[in-house]
Amino acid sequence: MFCYQCQETVGGVGCTKMGACGKTPEVSDIQDLMLYVLKGYSFLNQIAREDGLNNAVTDRMLINGLFMTITNANFDKAAFVKQLEKTLEVKDGLLESLRSKGKLEGKQLADCVTWTGYAADFDTKASAKEVGILSQENEDVRSLRELTIYGLKGMAAYAEHADNLGYFKVEVVMFMEKALAATLDDTLSADDLVKLVLETGKFGVDTMALLDEANTAAYGHPELTEVNIGTRDKPAILISGHDLKDMEELLEQTAGTGVDVYTHSEMLPANYYPAFKKYDHFVGNYGNAWWQQKAEFESFNGPILFTTNCIVPPKGDVVNRIYTTGASGFEGCTHIPDRREGGKKDFSAIIEHAKKCAPPTQIEEGKIVGGFAHNQVFALADKVVEAVKSGAVKQFFVMAGCDGRMKDRTYYSEFAEKLPKDTIILTAGCAKYRYNKLPLGDIGGIPRVLDAGQCNDSYSLAVIAMKLQEVFGLQDINELPISYNIAWYEQKAVIVLLALLYLGVKDIHLGPTLPGFLSPNVATVLVDTFGIGGINTVENDIEMFLG
């Protein structure tokens, strides 16, 4: 195996024996093969679309296949074998159809376009050397291709959430096909690949906007909310991940059963949506960011539902209390099947399980404040603008992104604590758990931490920035008193970064380390063109940001 798609990759270089996430070499190799086959499928489906020969039903297959390979989403080899066999069947059907119609004559076909196989072949084919990351020897080409692919993985996650709510854009899938097929084209220059990276950012913006529209149409705009972090004396289900459609159906099916529901990690922002507040058994949030789940799942006592990543491989009896659904999976855990067309998922098994469990053990008490997506901030626009004009607010800091296990991530807590009291933090994603429970106060009634929601709600932060640019009549978004100090971990943070670059945002700082998949030359291009930088000490960085 060789994998370096997450921030915690071994030595900042790559995992070769076992994934830092817990992914086995066998699963890593079959994920490599999944991407390999999806590239071949994308090449063929692009040609098929030109003559209306593509199988439109399988557009979602590409989205789900990419989503499954995101860090910490799916560790179940059997699930990958099943998905891979289905993908090969569709790809081979396209290949046969296009050949019979003469559509492939004169075209140079990569091995991934023509290769076929069965489950018995996967272990021998799916080696990192043959089809994985290192099969491309030029490290700069490899770096730019992987940067695009990781952006596509994050985009696929957001596209699937939107699709689950009935919002689907075939243009997004067509770009995914185009971009994956482009990673097979050895004639593309470094400049061409940089353009592809930025185009990925453009479609990242489009996809996050689509998901924002889907979420708000279904559940209302997030609103200023105090979220309970204590517990009640009833059995309960803990729901983690990002999929709000799963959240809705779980709340519907637990109503009147005597089973409470709590959010965990990235599902916290579900508490901000008006549509979910009608459920009196929706108690609040339990715990913190994903990496603390081992201890928190033990004390929760009841079953846990993963709607997406991030899974930390469980040990002991807690395995029997974990349920997965959608793109997530872990061997030994119960997987809840996808909903059929026009139907709903069946959560009866996890509900019955919960009824037999003890109530959650309380680990903290109090409330945290959130719900500051673009619509809520616009409602406070006059107050915010006046605070800036009066000098009460000197600077905004976008501290969106991911949290993680590394000890040096305490940097973000310390950074938030040491920021001057006339600054405001704009956040989204699980990075907020480093500071959303700190007593940072407010400025004239405006909380100093404005949480927009999940990682995909970083789109809200971009919308807010563009609105402020308009209000202050600035020509360049970089003239705003906004600094970007973003923590990253996995591929959904990558597509957020590419989206910001596409929007023209410069001088973004990434931490706690720069991505291992950036070659020295590609890193230099990002630094010289966009001002991308890493982090230093808290004191040095605050001085640098504030001049």
Between strands 260-263 and 282-285, the pairing is parallel
Kindly state the percentage of the chain with pLDDT values over 90: 94
Q: Which residues contact 50 (CB under 8 A, 6 or more apart)?
A: none
pLDDT at 486 exceeding the cut of 70: yes
| Segment 21-41 mean pLDDT | 95
pLDDT at 338: 95
Architecture, CATH, for domain 225-355: 3-Layer(aba) Sandwich (3.40)
DSSP letter for each residue of 2-39: -B--STT-GGGT-BSSS-TTS--HHHHHHHHHHHHHHH
Mean pLDDT to the nearest integer, 171-192: 96
pLDDT single digits (tens) 187-196: 999 999 999 9
Burial class, 477, CB count within 10 angstroms (exposed 0-12 / middle 13-18 / buried 19+): middle
Q: What are phi and psi of 285, to 5 degrees?
A: -110, 145
Mean pLDDT over each residue of the chain, to the nearest integer: 96
At CA 345, angle to CA 341 and CA 349, rounded to 5? 150
pLDDT at 128: 64
With cut-offs at 50, 70 and 90, classify the pLDDT of residue 141: very high
Above 80 in pLDDT, residue 57? Answer: no
- What is each CA distance from 21 to 7, 153, 520, in whole angstroms? 10, 17, 25
Report pLDDT digits (tens) over 87-139. Answer: 999 999 999 999 999 999 999 999 999 999 888 888 878 666 789 999 999 99
pLDDT at 508 over 90: yes
Q: How confident is the model at residue 545 (pLDDT cuts 50, 70, 90)?
A: very high
- The Cα–Cα gap between 271 and 443 comes to 24
Query: CATH 1.20.1270.20 occupies which residues in the chain?
Result: 1-135
* 362, 267 contact by CB (below 8 A): no
Global pTM exceeds 0.75? yes
pLDDT value at 386 more than 90: yes
As a whole number of angstroms, the distance between CA 238 and CA 285 comes to 9
- The reported pLDDT for the residue numbered 119 is 83
User: What CA–CA distance (Å, rounded) separates 489 from 401?
Assistant: 8
The pLDDT tens digits for 240-266 are 999 999 999 999 999 999 999 999 999
pLDDT at 54: 81
- Of the candidate CATH numbers 3.30.70.1150, 1.20.1270.20, 3.40.630.40, 1.10.10.520, the domain formed by 1-135 belongs to 1.20.1270.20
376-546: CATH class? alpha beta
CB distance 405 to 8 below 8 Å = yes
For residue 56, pLDDT beyond 90: no
Average pLDDT over residues 394-415: 97
Give the residue range(s) of CATH 3.40.50.2030 domains in the chain.
225-355, 376-546
**Which percentage of the chain shows pLDDT scores above 70?**
99
Quote the pLDDT of residue 65. 96
Structure tokens at 193: 């690949």
Query: What are residue 427's DSSP bridge partners?
Result: 451
Give the residue-averaged pLDDT of 211-233.
Answer: 98
In the predicted model, what is the mean pLDDT of residues 308-321?
Answer: 95
Q: Which two tokens stand for residue 218?
A: 């279904």
